[in-house]
Structure 1
Amino acid sequence: MTPVSDDTTLDAYLAAWAANDPTREAVARTIGALTEAGVAIAEIVGRGALEGAMAAQTDATNAGGDAQKALDVRTHDITVDILKDSPVARIGSEEAEDEVVFDDGRPLVVAIDPLDGSSNIETNVSIGTLFGILPNVGDASFTQPGTNQLAAGFIVYGPATALVLTVGEGAHAFMLDRASGRFIRTHADIKIPPQTKEYAINASNQRHWDDAIQAYVADCLAGAEGPREKNFNMRWVGSLVADVFRILVRGGVYLYPGDARQGYGSGRLRLVYECNPIAFVCEQAGGAATDGQRRILEIEPASLHVRSPLLCGSIEEIERVGRYYADPPRRSPLFAKRGLFLA
């Protein structure tokens, strides 16, 4: 999609959408708070090594057992501090084992990954923040399915600071105008092309993939001479937000399946604050998001930090991967190529 700024600010977009509805106004205020945190984080990230050792390991691990870096902790603290005066009752963050509870009289909760792609902090590669906004239903707030999200999106801290947002009325991208401090819409009603010749996966894990993913990628790699009869490109940034932003702009699929490594059977992404926001955005952009067999947004989380595979992007390609799972390939040492059964 070719970006064309229509000069609509985020504030104006949200004001028109909220239209004096109390719930929508609360959501709009929360999005405003999240973008305020995003601007603060973008300033820190933009200074790079001038800001100090942002990628330094701390002595702590996050809720998923991953080692925390200094910027992981700092972005969590910034977000919590700014959201404490918003309509948010609770925060479920990747960087905290337990929920942060403010006031259960408030209407909303926020599920957030304050810093996606933190392994890229010191390499000057895009990183970001993911968030989903849900109704407050008390202790069960973060075990609601993703279909209950009222809004979701992500911020990319790259050459430009970009906000991708959905409030259930399409997916839109806003860029931070550093001169004014405002987010201005540059991509209205994004549509992911239904077909693609590009996929994103960490190919170094190929030997651990299940048969369905092995077969799908093998058929892509076979190119124009193989069963797909076209050549594919592979891309992998290693920051979920950067890979998905690329797919929203020019199409493609993102693949993070479960695999045979210890602890990776259900993938490594967290359902509530990574997969669900991405799935909501992708569906609103005309794409799809599954775990290979189930629609991501319909999965009921067992807990705040539960993991899930994530396959998302161009709808025809995600449906194709689903067929590989529904009809597992039967390989024979007599044949070097798959047949056209799933073409």
Structure 2
Amino acid sequence: MTAETIQTDRIPPHLRPAMQALAEAGARLAAIIRRGGDLAQPVGTNADGDGQKALDVIADDLFCQTLAWAGVRWLASEEQEQAVALDPEGTLAVAIDPLDGSSNIDTNVSIGTIFSIYPAEATAEASFLRPARQQIGAGYIIYGPRCAMMVTFGDGVQHYALDPEDDAFRLVATRRQMPDCALEFAINASNYRHWPQPIRAYIDDCLAGSDGPREQNFNMRWIASLVAETHRILVRGGVFLYPSDARKGYEHGRLRMLYECAPIAFLIEQAGGGATDGRTAILEQGAPTLHQRTPFVFGSAEKVARIAAYHELPETEVSALFGHRGLFRA
């Protein structure tokens, strides 16, 4: 491991080796992405049945190799069926999505890495299948026009950027705070017909604009890369919704609690926002299995609370709202 892969003065001492390893692997992966090549070539499926691209496998191998020398006892990867034992003397457990947004590789849209750090326990199950609020670190690396890392250790969100001169992450901001409000929402509107009624009612009210009950005009954003969506919302506010829906395989949401939702929720709350499954705070929950999926709503606290309020309305009342405001209906 190189000596200076990340500026460490704001990182808790016991987490510095793991953060150095994550930064080193992230810098190396950023270089691979810059070089290009056939990184989007299909190579099979991961442990959960999702299609894998060549870059998924490269990223998984890279982070596993670097974290093996960083005091990490257990590593749980979205690309692996079971958690991997690394260092029996390690004190940390790391859960990681090595490459988020791989469907966007060949379109050159920003992709990323999401990670979460817990204290290691005697077994992998005890280390990872616990309340998400027991995380002691979480963050992501975004491989965009400027490679950046956002990370929290429970005291605000720190922003680092990769310096191309020496491939080291330098501190940009010690405390990134989410703006109070932005008139933007992110959701895949093509699935409107499958959504539960509280989600449709909320989106209908946004789409009604200044003539509707919100009395404001909203813009919609959808990148289909969780890291890219998160980075935009951390920088300028707004809300992201990936609800459960009526399609087979989507009944319990689609994003993974351990590898995606828990670390993003930790970051968002530390930046002053909120993160729920539509009703309940993500950080008050835990994953019963390594690859458990969940609905996910996060962003500006006021918007997340409003969406939860729609879910608390009696079904008959939501149905009436939907019938009156269903703008997609003829």
TM category, shorter: over 0.9
Aligned counterparts, 1:124-139, within 5 A:
124-139=108-123
Task: Work out which of the residue numbers 58, 62, 67 in structure 2 matches 1:78.
Answer: 62
SS at match of 2:303: helix
Residue of structure 2 equivalent to 1:21 = none
Residue of structure 1 equivalent to 2:51 = 67
Aligned counterparts, 1:1-343, within 5 A:
11-12=6-7, 14-18=8-12, 25-48=13-36, 51=37, 53-58=38-43, 60-139=44-123, 140-327=126-313, 328=315, 329-332=317-320, 336-337=324-325
CA contact (8 A) 1:10 1:185 kept: no
SS at match of 1:192: coil
Structure 1: distance between partners of 2:238 and 2:308:
16
CA contact (8 A) 1:132 1:152 kept: yes
Q: Quote how far apart the aligned CAs of 1:195 are.
A: 2.5
Structure 2: distance between partners of 1:230 and 1:32:
45
What's the CA shift string for 1:97-154, capped at 9, x where partnerless?
A: 0111113321001000000000000000000000001000132111011111111000
What's the CA shift string for 1:198-252, capped at 9, x where partnerless?
A: 0101111111100110000000000000000000000011100000100000001
SS at match of 2:9: helix
Structure 2: distance between partners of 1:232 and 1:313:
15
Question: What code does the residue aligned with 2:294 have?
Answer: S
TM-score normalised by structure 1 residue count: 0.89
Structure 1: distance between partners of 2:325 and 2:81:
47
Structure 1: distance between partners of 2:80 and 2:319:
44
**Cα gap change, 1:295 to 1:335, in 2 (>3 Å):** closer
CA contact (8 A) 2:274 2:298 kept: yes
**Cα gap change, 1:88 to 1:308, in 2 (>3 Å):** same
SS at match of 2:306: helix
SS at match of 2:142: strand
Q: Quote how far apart the aligned CAs of 1:333 are.
A: 9.6
Question: What code does the residue aligned with 2:271 have?
Answer: A
Structure 2: distance between partners of 1:301 and 1:312:
18
CA contact (8 A) 2:197 2:319 kept: no
SS at match of 1:55: coil
Question: What code does the residue aligned with 2:167 have?
Answer: G
Gap runs ≥5 in structure 1: 1-8, 19-24, 339-343
CA contact (8 A) 2:201 2:318 kept: no
CA contact (8 A) 2:71 2:89 kept: no
Structure 1: distance between partners of 2:103 and 2:303:
28
Question: What code does the residue aligned with 1:161 have?
Answer: C
Q: Quote how far apart the aligned CAs of 1:332 are.
A: 4.2
Question: What code does the residue aligned with 2:279 have?
Answer: Q
Alignment RMSD, CA only? 1.7
**Cα gap change, 1:181 to 1:231, in 2 (>3 Å):** same
Gap runs ≥5 in structure 2: none
Structure 1: distance between partners of 2:173 and 2:274:
19
Q: Quote how far apart the aligned CAs of 1:331 are.
A: 2.9
SS at match of 1:259: coil
Equivalent pairs counted in the alignment come to: 319
Structure 2: distance between partners of 1:315 and 1:200:
15
Structure 2: distance between partners of 1:236 and 1:16:
33
Q: Quote how far apart the aligned CAs of 1:194 are.
A: 2.8
Question: What code does the residue aligned with 1:206 have?
Answer: Y
**Cα gap change, 1:273 to 1:224, in 2 (>3 Å):** same
Residue of structure 2 equivalent to 1:341 = none
TM-score normalised by structure 2 residue count: 0.93
Percent identity between the two aligned chains: 48
Question: What code does the residue aligned with 1:41 have?
Answer: L
SS at match of 2:105: helix
Structure 1: distance between partners of 2:257 and 2:23:
22
